[in-house]
Structure 1
Amino acid sequence: MRTQSVAMLGLVVICLASASPSKADTIFTNLGPGQSFNPNGGWVIGDCCSEGPGQVFAFPFIPTQTATFTDATLALQRISGPSPLNVEIQTSSGGMPDAILDTLTQTMDLSPIPSLVDFTCSTCGVLNAGTLYFLVAQQTNPLNVASWGFSNSQIDTAFFNENGSATGPWTPNTGPISAYELHGVAIAPEPPSALLLASGLIALLAVGYKRFV
């Protein structure tokens, strides 16, 4: 009977491990409490300046955990034009944006009121914890204009260009960082506490079995 108990408890542990559902975690955010941001200002994406057909911005982030990237949420406002934004995850080289890693798809139209807009990708790559990446936004039509709202407080060095290119050349800009949040499915999540508890029970039961054989 004791042997059967040990076997059954082991089966429970295996079931607990295999039944843990994958879910998207927040791997970076500069949004405030309740996903808040500054609705009173932001960087222009699109037709902005006299030097070129469209302004593009690249903002830095470092994931808090290694994860398969799933989606992003950006604080955006439509100023003119209906075209969706092109948004990419880019690697870094020398602290600057480098190669496109993931391309995202806008899931809803931009509103004339500052609001959070979701972007998803169908074939997402793995983002490594502690590694610098960039989130880049570009107008599909460089004559259209959107505002990417500021975070409540983050100041950092971002990069921009005014020639409508998602791949530079880039000019550094130290100042307010626009607001966004990134999600992904962790590659190696912490083991559930129930699994650890069940493992401990197996060990105790096994010791008791040996003692009374």
Structure 2
Amino acid sequence: MKTQLIVTAIVLSFAAAPSQADVIFSNLGAGDTFSAAGRIFQGESVGTIGNVDQAASFSVGGTSYLLDSLELGVNVTSAGPLDVILAADNGGEPGAELEAISLNLAVGEQLALASAAGTTMLDANTTYWVIADAKGSIDGGWRFNTTGDVGLTAGRSAGVGSTNYGDWNLRPDDDRYAFRVQGTPMEIPEPTSVALFVIAGIGATALRLRKRD
């Protein structure tokens, strides 16, 4: 009986272990590399074009997820805030904001990590958008991928000092910006099913032993 209790405790511990985040989408190269070229983003106080945002679409496969993180390959030439936004698709362009994660980026080339709250659902077989929404003094660019990935991207600008955006400028079959999306699958992990099966087997064995007694 002691052995059965030990085995049960081990299996329960295994079953309760949290599931790991899966990569939902990534076009990063080996070693998380990305191109030296891309398109600019600028906060509203940058005095060239001003308030320029970029966006890229991606699609979820056959499993639904809770969003864990978004990572963007960027180069920053003037430090400042960047909102990384997950948005719904609205007829082939960025739609309603689902989650916004505010970062404060330093100067330099970097894979900017935006950690999500873990509560935003990404539905299976659905298209979403990742938006690099530049704020304040930030000036830089969202780099292209180096893996040959193409898809629908978009850009918009409101001009220096303005937040009155025009329509998104859509770019079909464009070199997609470099990014990775990770999430926790909503399906019950297979190890949990196996653990429950083992527990049931232990229970059945214990019942047979009691009957023999």
The residue number in structure 1 matching 2:101 is: 104
In the alignment, structure 1 residue 150 sits paired with structure 2 residue 150 = no
Asked if structure 2 preserves the Cα contact closer than 8 Å seen for 1:51 and 1:162, the reply is no
State the shift of 1:171 in Å: 1.6
What percentage of residue pairs aligned between the two structures are identical? 20
Secondary structure at 1:192 match in 2: helix
Label 1:133 to 1:200 Cα distance change in 2 as closer, same or farther (>3 A): same
Q: What corresponds to 1:86 in structure 2?
A: 83
- Secondary structure at 2:15's aligned position in 1? helix
Instruction: Say whether residues 1:54 and 2:36 are aligned partners.
Output: no
TM-score (norm 2): 0.76
Structure 1 residue runs without a partner (length 5+)? none
Q: CA deviation at 1:41?
A: 0.3
Q: Does 1:33 align with 2:30?
A: yes
Q: 1-side partners of 2:166 and 2:182: how far apart?
A: 26
Is 1:43 paired with 2:42? no
Indicate the residue corresponding to 2:121 in structure 1.
126
CA distance in 1, matches of 2:76, 2:54: 16
- Between 1:183-192 and 1:169-178, the stretch displaced more is 183-192
Cα distance in 1, alignment partners of residues 126 and 165 from structure 2: 19
2 CA distance for matches of 1:11 and 1:168? 59
In the alignment, does 2:167 pair up with 1:169?
A: yes
Q: 1:75 aligns with which of 73, 76, 85?
A: 73
How far 1:26 sits from its partner (Å)?
1.9
1:167-206 maps to which residues of 2 (within 5 A)? Answer: 169-174=167-172, 175-192=174-191, 196=194, 199=197, 202-203=200-201, 206=204
Contact 2:157 2:166 in 1 (8 A): no
Deviation at 1:189, TM superposition (A): 4.2
1:86-125 deviation digits (Å, cap 9, x = unpaired): 211000121211100001122x63333x221111234641
Cα deviation for residue 201 of structure 1 reads 8.1
- Paired residue type of 1:163: A
Residue ranges of structure 2 left out of the alignment (5+ in a row) = none
Q: Which residue of 1 aligns with 2:60?
A: 63
| Structure-2 separation of matches of 1:205 and 1:179 | 51
1:12-51 C-alpha deviation (Å, 9 max, x unpaired):
5444322x2243322221112221211x20111127xx99
Query: Which amino acid is 2:116 matched to?
Result: C
Q: Kindly tell me: are residues 67 and 102 of structure 1, through their superposed partners in 2, closer, same or farther at Cα, counting changes over 3 Å?
A: same
Query: Quick check: 89-98 or 8-17, which moved more?
Result: 8-17
Backbone CA RMSD of aligned residues: 3.4
Q: TM-score, normalised by structure 1?
A: 0.76
In structure 2, C-alpha distance between the alignment counterparts of 1:15 and 1:62, rounded to whole Å: 34
Tell me how far 1:136 sits from its aligned partner. Answer: 0.4
Contact 1:105 1:120 in 2 (8 A): no
Aligned residues: 201
**What is the SS of the residue equivalent to 1:196?**
helix
Distance between the aligned counterparts of 1:43 and 1:84, measured in 2?
17
Q: Is the 8 A contact 1:110 1:117 kept in 2?
A: no
